[in-house]
Copies of this chain bind each other. A is one copy, B any other.
Amino acid sequence: MSEPEGRGAAGAPARLSLNQATTRSWSVAEAAAACARAGIRHIGLWREHVAEAGLEAAARLVREAGLSVSSLCRGGFFPATDAAGRARRAADNRRAIDEAAALGTGTLVLVCGGLPEGSRDVDGAREQVADAIAALVPYAQACGVRLGIEPMHPMFCADRSVITTVGQALDLAESFPADAVGVIVDAYHVWWDPLVHAGIARAAGRIVSFQVSDWVTPLPAGALTGRAPMGDGCIELRRLREAVDAAGYDGPIEIEIFNERLWRSPGDGLLADLITRYRIHVA
């Protein structure tokens, strides 16, 4: 860690970042203001929220709130059924890189994409991901933005990411310079992996973000919004945080919780609760 994980100006630990997905009903302006009130120093932005605010306005809002942008979510979704589809996605990823640069963040999160419609060729989709990232790297380097490959939970393999483990993400990232392509470690996606600690240790120098939430059962329909606040589930969050620390990651730690209940009730009380949970279960 580059600085002690003590209290921020108004009580938040120094590395804590609010990923906007946690407070999805808030605009960039609302989220930035709430972070400032809570003493949170970093925010992870989502492209649709940035688009609503306007790119320059969003950059100004977070800057004026004194926040660093820990990451932009998200690029990726590379596999497509034909060359025209792949070209459209490549163009969209270049725009995402432009946006990351304009927002002053060095990290674009890549959710790499699932199988193309009607396809069963999971290895082919993985090759498409590798080829698309290779084509994107020079542009990202020129813009000073690092691509973060996010392995997602295998329950999303068909429709969101054929990249499912830290080891697999690292195999892919290692084809490129470490300052161009890294990996995202999201505890929710990788905690189950018997090789996760080996993967994190191997990822030294490649970890570009660490994200936290918790795993609870049963999953809701669609599985996407089943994440819980830290401490409500079974993930060894502190052990994972210590592992990414030991691998040399000292950047922001994003709280990213897809949860319908939280989305219905964002507010300063929610942030205060998450800060407390972060101290107890993560820091």
Chain A window 188-212, contacts with chain B (Cβ cutoff 8 Å), 1 for yes, 0 for no = 0001111000000000000000000
Q: Is the CB of A234 within 8 A of B193?
A: no
Q: By CB atoms of chain B within 10 A, which of A192, A222, A223 has the most?
A: A192
In the complex, what distance in Å separates the CA atom of A153 from the CA atom of B126? 20
Chain A window 152-164, contacts with chain B (Cβ cutoff 8 Å), 1 for yes, 0 for no = 0111011100101
Q: Does A219 contact B (CB under 8 A)?
A: yes
Q: Does A218 contact B (CB under 8 A)?
A: yes
Q: Does A119 contact B (CB under 8 A)?
A: yes
Q: Is the CB of B164 within 8 A of A194?
A: yes
A153 interface neighbour in B154, B168, B233, Cβ under 8 Å: B154
Q: Is the CB of A154 within 8 A of B192?
A: yes
Taking the closest CB of chain B, its distance from the CB of A124, in whole angstroms, is 10
Taking the closest CB of chain B, its distance from the CB of A233, in whole angstroms, is 8
Question: Which residues on the B side are within 8 Å of A223 (C-beta)?
Answer: 155, 218-219, 223
Q: Does A2 contact B (CB under 8 A)?
A: no
Q: Is the CB of B234 within 8 A of A154?
A: no
A interface residues with partner B (beta carbon < 8 Å): 115, 119-122, 126, 153-155, 157-159, 162, 164-165, 168, 191-194, 215-223, 233-236
Contacts A155-B219, A218-B221 given; 17 further ones with Cβ under 8 A? A119-B234, A120-B236, A122-B192, A153-B154, A154-B154, A154-B193, A162-B192, A164-B192, A164-B194, A217-B222, A218-B222, A218-B223, A219-B219, A219-B221, A219-B222, A221-B221, A223-B223
